[in-house]
C-alpha cells in the first residue's frame, strides 16, 4: 500500500487501533476521514488537524452505510483507501444455553460490517490510483479464544473474506489483512492496562514499520501475532487452544 497521497476512510477511527493508525496516516500527509458511532470521540480525534474529517457511521446498519457512502462520494471524490477497524468484542460462556443475541451482534458488526463497508466502498475506489482496503481481523481468527467464541469466529470470517476479496479485486484494489495480537485498547473492559498485552504505541510503530518495509505485503503481521497466525502451519493449534482455553 502506498503510504502517502491517499484519501483514506478509517472505520472505528474514534479510538484504539483505528484512531492511532488514522493519526499516523494523517501525519504522513494523507487526507483522513474517521468514522464510527460515537460522534464526540470522532470530534476529539480530528480536533486541530486540517484535512482530517469525521463521519457518522454504524457498520452494523445497511442504511447508515449507504448514507455514509453517498456522503463520501459527494464530499471526497478522491477517496481511494480504507482501513476497516470497526469492531466489538464480547465474552460468552459456551454450553449454558447459548447467547445467540450477543453472537448475532458480534457477527453483524465484525464480519457483516466489514463486508457491508467493503462492498459499498468498492464501486467508489476500484480502479483509482493506489486503491487499497485494509481489513482488521485478529490473531484469534487463527486460534480461537473459547471465552469469546463469536468474536473469534467473526475474525476467522474476516480472514476468509479478505482472501476472497483479494482474489476478486486483483489489479483493481489491493487488499491487506491486519490481524492484531492482544493490544492495550478499550476493546474490552480493563484491556487498556492488561498485563501481557502489547502497548498501543508499540503495536502501531511496528505496524507502520511493516507498511514501510514491505509495501506490497498481503498481511501486516507484527511479531507478537506470529505464533497465532502460523499455529496451524507450526502444528501448535492444540497446545495454543489449551492455553487460550484456560482464560
Ligand X SMILES: NC(=O)c1ccc[n+]([C@@H]2O[C@H](COP(=O)([O-])OP(=O)(O)OC[C@H]3O[C@@H](n4cnc5c(N)ncnc54)[C@H](OP(=O)(O)O)[C@@H]3O)[C@@H](O)[C@H]2O)c1
41 binds ligand X per the rule CB under 6 A: yes
Segment interacting with ligand X (CB under 6 A) among 66-74, 159-167, 182-190, 226-234:
182-190
Please state, in angstroms and rounded to a whole number, the distance separating the CA atoms of residues 165 and 119.
Answer: 9
Please state, in angstroms and rounded to a whole number, the distance separating the CA atoms of residues 59 and 97.
Answer: 28
Q: For residue 69, what is the enclosing H or E element?
A: helix 62-75
Question: For ligand X, which residue of 80, 138, 162, 210 counts as binding (CB under 6 A)?
Answer: 138
153 binds ligand X per the rule CB under 6 A: no
Q: Least distance in Å: CB of 79 to ligand X?
A: 17
Question: For ligand X, which residue of 36, 144, 149, 157 counts as binding (CB under 6 A)?
Answer: 36
Segment interacting with ligand X (CB under 6 A) among 10-18, 93-101, 160-168, 226-234:
10-18
Task: Report residue 49 as a C-alpha cell.
Answer: 488537524
Task: Report residue 186 as a C-alpha cell.
Answer: 478499550
Please state, in angstroms and rounded to a whole number, the distance separating the CA atoms of residues 22 and 36.
Answer: 13
85 binds ligand X per the rule CB under 6 A: yes
149 binds ligand X per the rule CB under 6 A: no
Alpha helices in 126-199 (DSSP H): 149-168
144 binds ligand X per the rule CB under 6 A: no
136 binds ligand X per the rule CB under 6 A: yes
Ranges within 221-240 binding ligand X (CB under 6 A):
none
Q: Catalytic amino acids? A: 151
Task: Report residue 162 as a C-alpha cell.
Answer: 479478505
Q: Indicate the residue whose CB is closest to ligand X.
A: 16
- Closest by CA position to 86, among listed 163, 185, 174: 185
Strand order in 174-178's β-sheet?
52-56, 31-36, 7-11, 81-84, 132-136, 174-178
How many residues in the chain? 247
14 binds ligand X per the rule CB under 6 A: yes
Q: Least distance in Å: CB of 127 to ligand X?
A: 26
Can you give the binding site for ligand X, defined by CB under 6 A? 11-12, 14-18, 36-38, 41, 57-60, 85-89, 109, 113, 136, 138, 180, 182-183, 185-187
Amino acid at each position: 500500500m502506498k503510504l502517502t497521497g491517499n484519501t483514506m476512510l478509517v472505520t472505528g477511527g474514534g479510538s484504539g487501533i483505528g484512531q492511532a493508525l488514522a493519526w499516523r496516516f494523517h501525519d504522513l500527509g494523507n487526507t483522513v476521514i474517521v468514522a464510527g458511532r460515537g460522534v464526540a470521540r470522532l470530534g476529539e480525534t480530528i480536533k486541530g488537524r486540517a484535512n482530517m474529517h469525521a463521519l457518522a457511521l454504524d457498520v452494523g446498519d445497511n442504511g447508515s452505510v449507504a448514507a455514509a457512502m453517498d456522503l463520501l462520494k459527494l464530499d471526497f471524490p478522491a477517496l481511494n483507501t480504507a482501513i476497516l477497524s470497526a469492531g466489538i468484542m464480547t465474552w460468552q460462556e459456551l454450553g449454558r444455553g447459548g447467547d445467540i443475541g450477543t453472537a448475532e451482534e458480534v457477527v453483524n458488526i465484525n464480519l457483516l460490517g466489514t463486508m457491508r463497508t467493503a462492498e459499498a466502498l468498492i464501486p467508489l475506489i476500484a480502479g483509482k490510483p493506489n486503491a487499497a482496503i485494509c481489513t482488521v481481523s485478529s490473531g484469534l481468527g487463527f486460534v480461537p479464544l473459547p471465552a469469546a467464541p463469536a468474536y473469534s469466529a467473526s475474525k476467522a470470517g474476516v480472514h476468509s473474506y479478505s482472501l476472497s476479496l483479494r482474489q476478486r479485486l486483483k489489479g483493481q484494489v489491493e487488499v491487506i489483512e491486519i490481524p492484531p495480537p492482544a493490544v492495550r485498547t478499550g476493546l474490552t473492559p480493563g484491556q487498556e492496562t492488561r498485563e501481557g498485552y502489547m502497548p498501543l504505541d508499540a503495536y502501531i510503530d511496528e505496524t507502520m514499520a511493516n507498511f514501510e518495509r514491505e509495501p506490497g505485503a498481503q498481511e501486516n503481521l507484527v511479531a507478537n501475532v506470529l505464533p497465532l497466525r502460523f499455529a496451524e502451519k507450526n502444528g501448535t493449534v492444540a497446545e495454543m487452544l489449551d492455553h487460550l482455553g484456560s482464560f
